Structure 1
Amino acid sequence: MVYLSRYTTAKGVQRVIKADVLAIGELNVDLIISGLTSMPELDREIIAKQASLALGSSTAICACGISKLDFKTAFIGKVGNDEYGKFVVDTLAAYKIDTSNIIVDSSVETGMTISLGYNNDRALITVLGSIDKLQGRDINFYAIKHLRHIHVGSFFLQSSLRKDLADIFRLAQENGISTSLDPGWDHSGTWDYGLKDVLRYTSIFLPNEQEALHISGCNSVEKAAEALSEFAETVAIKRGKDGCTVCSSSKLYTHESFLVENVVDTTGAGDSFNAGFIYGYLHNYTVEQCMRYGCACGAICVQQVGGATGCPTIGEVNDFLRNHS
């Protein structure tokens, strides 16, 4: 259960967070290998064009995107007491995110995801480390009850947090705080772990196409959106180059992707879409406008290397939209 006492001794939140949006979740670095000539094979060496170290984590990249869209943003997560952990915290702070409630745990190492980019797509390898160590007891709900919105990503990776997430989202709903959830990929193939219990208290559910099909058991994106909307208030399914499909209030919507000529790195594009969609939602925009902002953020993101670095400012998004019908 989530601790509700103001005086909890958990190592997490001890004071009221003054922010519009709180991101709760995994923290890790990304080692991004881009421009591969082919995908790796055993006993063979291949050549890549570039390698870079960047802030990882679906939740963190979305938080950076939200912050760049001019929402005051805070983060609760856990890192190791190591150089990667320091890199993560310093990078979030550089994006003007409140990092004062990030837990530094000397008993774990900061997680890492290796992103292998090839032919405008990518493969991911993750070393969990601190990624799945954040727990519900690390969060004092008294300190976060004055927010506008809570976002959580990588539900399936966060084995320690997900068992308490329905309680966290329920308490948020009871206090007038909207919520969003990105499930991420389930490497176990189970596609459950109480997810639908969480969705009953979720304002915006943000899976990609394959995740939505696996979770719903449906054979089309439209059917998946309708099925999942029986649980979540709004379901926004990201479809990459095919745009997005949304079901809200029993109505289906679609939006094509914006055509961009220079796709450099797709890392974080979905998280940037999340930030844009949440931006529209918190401004009480129509579903069509939310999709438009989400797709614009994703299209801008893929033109740079790295997830958080590709997240646009609201000025860049509005300029992009003025130039793309």
Structure 2
Amino acid sequence: MTQPRLDVLCIGNAIVDVIADTDDAFLAEQGLAKNSMRLIDEEEAVRLYGLMGPGREVSGGSAGNTAAGVAALGLKAGFIGQVATDELGDIYRHDIESQGVEFLVEARGDVGATARSLILVTPDAHRTMNTFLGAAQRLESKAIDRDRIAEAAILYLEGYLWDPEVPRAAMEAAIEAAHAAGRKVAFTLSDTFCVDRHRSGFWDLLWDGKIDILFANEAEALAMAATDDIEEAKAVLARAVPLLVVTKSEKGASAISADERADVPAEPIERLVDTTGAGDLFAAGFLAGHARGMTLENSLRLGAIAAAEVIQHYGARPEKDLRALAGSLLA
């Protein structure tokens, strides 16, 4: 097996986040469930955008955020996601490449508009996401270059992109290419709505041995295991995947691999501003540690450090020097 050129290659929705402050009254007025994520069409995206307060445009998307975090930690990262030949598509490519991530898919003019997520942040830092997938859900299998997949030590996939049939086929092709090259495949469940819609398909991935590293938060783990006991959920999932990582917000995170388990607390923060991207950056830290051969505990610690940085400001991309924050972990 050849030496990998990239440490982590991420595949996911290429989405530009539009983030605005709001309050509970606005959410209630719009019939929005606080701290949820819903898919919307382009008409609703235009309507809701017109009602939002001043917004900040930041390139996002779960796997894209993770790729940016991996690069910020000094590792080599790539990203595969579909954008359109429009202004937001140009913004997305520029932003992710400026952060040191290789963007491996050409923009297209026949896929509609570039995806965007309208993120409403309440004073308690909870975010309510309204996502128009647009071009992102038009990622096709022909965009998957098997040679590029084979160049990455770890292929990382987001559950959000499993929803539409076309990109699901692209991700399946990528999984096959990664394993054929002897590489590892990591997968994040992304959201409980993804689990509810695709629980059977996700279990098929696990039992068929297609996933080597599974990321889930507590709610997603409970939904997958159909239980209200988080330790039972971890045990059920750990039997189905070589390495399980479960995040628990302010309670820290756990990793289980065979008979080995590690638990770490959350990193202390000065002020909680916006939880957007916390799980994405945690995955970036953990994957960076894993790619460098760190212990489960140190990989979890690196994930906690990256997550703590991103929740102290708006947007899902790191603003401070993650390598400096990691200190001796990355020495």
**Which of residues 16, 22, 28 is equivalent to 2:15?**
28
Q: How does 1:129-208 map to 2 (within 5 A)?
A: 129-153=134-158, 154-187=160-193, 189-192=196-199, 194-199=201-206, 200-208=209-217
**How far does residue 240 in structure 1 lie from its aligned partner after superposition?**
1.0
TM-score by length of 2: 0.83
| 3-state DSSP of counterpart to 1:222 | helix
Deviation at 1:93, TM superposition (A): 1.1
SS in 2 for 1:181: strand
Q: d(CA) in 2 for partners of 1:226 and 1:256?
A: 20
- Please report how far the alpha carbon of residue 34 of structure 1 lies from its aligned counterpart in structure 2 after TM superposition: 3.0
Which residue does the alignment assign to 1:277? 286
After superposition, the Cα gap between the structure-2 partners of 1:210 and 1:140, relative to the gap in structure 1 and judged at 3 Å, is same
Give the match for residue 72 of structure 2: 68
Decide which of 88, 92, 99 is 1:88's aligned counterpart: 92
* 1:232 paired to 2:241: yes
Post-superposition offset of 1:29: 0.7
- Assess if the C-alpha contact under 8 Å between 2:162 and 2:168 holds in 1: yes
Q: Give the TM-score normalised by structure 1.
A: 0.84
Which structure 2 segments of 5+ residues have no match?
Answer: 32-50
Q: Are the counterparts in 2 of residues 22 and 74 from structure 1 also a CA contact under 8 Å?
A: yes
Q: For residue 320 of structure 1, report the CA deviation from its aligned partner.
A: 10
State the match for 1:241 in structure 2.
250
1:55 to 53, 59, 67: 59
- Say which is worse superposed, 58-67 or 91-100, in terms of deviation: 91-100
Moved more, 116-125 or 306-315: 306-315
**Alpha-carbon displacement from aligned partner over 1:31-69 (angstroms, at most 9, x marks no partner):** 11236365522279xx99863111120010000000111
* Residue in structure 2 matched with residue 125 of structure 1 by the alignment: 130
Contact in 1 for aligned 2:11/2:171 (Cα 8 Å): no
Which of 106, 116, 139 aligns to 2:110? It is 106
More divergent stretch after superposition (300-309 vs 274-283): 300-309
Report the CA distance between 1:280 and its aligned residue: 1.0
In structure 1, what is the Cα distance between the partners aligned to 2:329 and 2:270?
Answer: 14
Describe the superposition over 1:78-133 as per-residue Cα deviations: whole angstroms up to 9, x where unpaired: 11121111110110111111224344343321111111112122211111112222
CA apart distance, 1:221? 2.0
Cα distance between partner residues in 2 of 1:136 and 1:231: 27
Q: Which residue of 1 aligns with 2:81?
A: 77
8 Å Cα contact 2:111/2:134 also seen in 1? no
Kindly tell me: are residues 170 and 99 of structure 1, through their superposed partners in 2, closer, same or farther at Cα, counting changes over 3 Å? closer
- 1:66/1:279 contact within 8 Å kept: yes
Moved more, 157-166 or 234-243: 157-166
Equivalent position of 2:327 in the other structure: 318
Q: Please, which of 276, 286, 289 is the counterpart of residue 295 of structure 2? A: 286
Report the RMSD for the aligned CA atoms in angstroms. Answer: 2.7
**What secondary structure is seen at the aligned counterpart in 2 of 1:21?**
strand
- CA distance 1:221–1:311, shift in 2 (3 Å): farther
Provide the secondary structure at the position in 2 that maps to 1:237.
Answer: strand
The residue type equivalent to 1:171 in the other structure is A
Contact kept in structure 1, 2:281 and 2:303, CA below 8 Å: yes
Distance 2:204 2:141 in 1: 16
- The answer on whether the counterparts of 2:305 and 2:325 sit within 8 Å (CA) in structure 1 is no
Change beyond 3 A, Cα 1:148–1:111: same
Q: Which amino acid aligns with 2:181?
A: N
Amino acid across the alignment from 1:106: D
Bigger mean CA deviation after superposition, 253-262 or 150-159: 150-159
Alpha-carbon spacing, 1:194–1:37, altered in 2? closer, same or farther (3 Å): closer
Query: What secondary structure, in the 3-state scheme, does the structure 1 residue paired with 2:250 have?
Result: helix
Equivalent position SS for 2:325: helix
| Aligned counterparts, 1:240-259, within 5 A | 240-259=249-268
2:72 and 2:318 in contact (8 A); partners too? no
Partners of 1:296 and 1:91 in 2: CA distance: 22
